[in-house]
Structure 1
């Protein structure tokens, strides 16, 4: 049976033959505080819907955090509209789609991928499913609309949260 590089890599990961240091390149240390230049758009949106206290005080949570560059790819006009709207329910829905209850580290995502034969599904706190698969060495998330986001920095811990930086905004529904 011929195996594609992604499937054979996933098979090796499932068998445990690759060390975690070989799975990922060395991650740069990122500040995940409100002062983080890479996530200022995300933190502004979290504050706009008054979720900062909830995320800080309860949990644990896993956050798939779009970088500022990811929000720029999304649509600055749509983001401004969401941020300035009186009714912030659509913005809150978007943000809660990026959060999963529990500590979902990269190794736990990989184990779920192994158990799911290359695919895994996670329920967000928004209530919709987010699927994951591997492309080469990358964990890729897919939303119900078909948009994808790669985890670019994994396992950034901050208090009761595990944060994975992603390169695109994912959507619970068409926006």
Structure 2
């Protein structure tokens, strides 16, 4: 039997998966990879990964490598630490070809841990063919046209008086601000927050910023 999730059920499931990971001290930075620019090292965490509201991780490390990138964003997602769920969902939504295209794009990439906070079975249901349109909207809400580095995002935030409004491929805005630890904080249209904890992972057709939460669009 086909199960098509209502927009309310999808939003409710995703909201349970949001929440930042609180950290009390900044982790020691790790040297960026030079052999494969799509791979980064997840910084050490000083607090357990528990849902929280309005808390931010320590200032992000950057994933910029000295060598030129050799993979597209679509290819890079499967190599990024803790992003296997997002890589799978991109393919399920049929967006891997787009993210392998010329772009350029900026991808805000939620962690596996953020998706794991969804209710049991919700992610599998969302991945069913009959819910593909909703999944596509969710994934596109994490993608912005143009390759925006963390420095460029912060410049836009400063120019906007503390706030930058990013128009996603879903056609809905994400609000970017500077978080309490100097990292980039994203607020979605539902008021949920996610924080960039690893910035500037380069690809041949754009850049990815790793986040610790899911941004939720309006669905349906």
Which 5+ residue runs of structure 1 have no aligned equivalent?
Answer: 1-23
Alpha-carbon distance between aligned partners in 1 of 2:155 and 2:63, rounded to the nearest angstrom? 24
What is the CA–CA distance in structure 2 between the aligned matches of 1:132 and 1:142, rounded to whole Å?
7
| 2:193 aligned residue | 148
TM-score w.r.t. the length of structure 1 is 0.79
Please report how far the alpha carbon of residue 80 of structure 1 lies from its aligned counterpart in structure 2 after TM superposition.
1.4
Moved more, 59-68 or 132-141: 132-141
Higher strand share: 1
More helix by percentage: 1
Can you list the C-alpha shifts for 1:7-49, whole angstroms capped at 9, x where unaligned? xxxxxxxxxxxxxxxxx56446899342445111001001111
Map of 1:2-151 to 2, 5 A cutoff?
26-27=61-62, 32-136=76-180, 137-151=182-196
- Over the aligned positions, Cα root-mean-square deviation in angstroms equals 2.4
- Contact 1:74–1:168 (CA<8 Å) still a contact in 2? no
Return the alpha-carbon distance in structure 1 between the equivalents of residues 117 and 131 of structure 2: 24
Relative to structure 1, the CA distance from residue 166 to residue 25 in structure 2 (aligned partners, 3 Å threshold; closer, same or farther) is closer
Q: Sort the Cα spacing of 1:75 and 1:153 in 2 relative to 1 into closer, same or farther, 3 A.
A: farther
Q: TM-score, normalised to structure 2's length?
A: 0.63
Q: Which of structure 1's runs of 4+ aligned residues deviate more than 3 A?
A: 24-33
> How much does 1:124 deviate?
0.2
Structure 1 residue 87: deviation in Å? Answer: 3.7
Instruction: State the secondary structure of the residue aligned to 1:88.
Output: helix
C-alpha deviation, 1:174, in angstroms: 6.4
User: Which deviates further from its counterpart, 73-82 or 53-62?
Assistant: 73-82
Deviation at 1:78, TM superposition (A): 2.3
Distance between the aligned counterparts of 1:151 and 1:25, measured in 2? 7
Structure 2 alignment gaps of length 5 or more: 1-58, 66-74
Local SS of the residue matching 2:178: strand
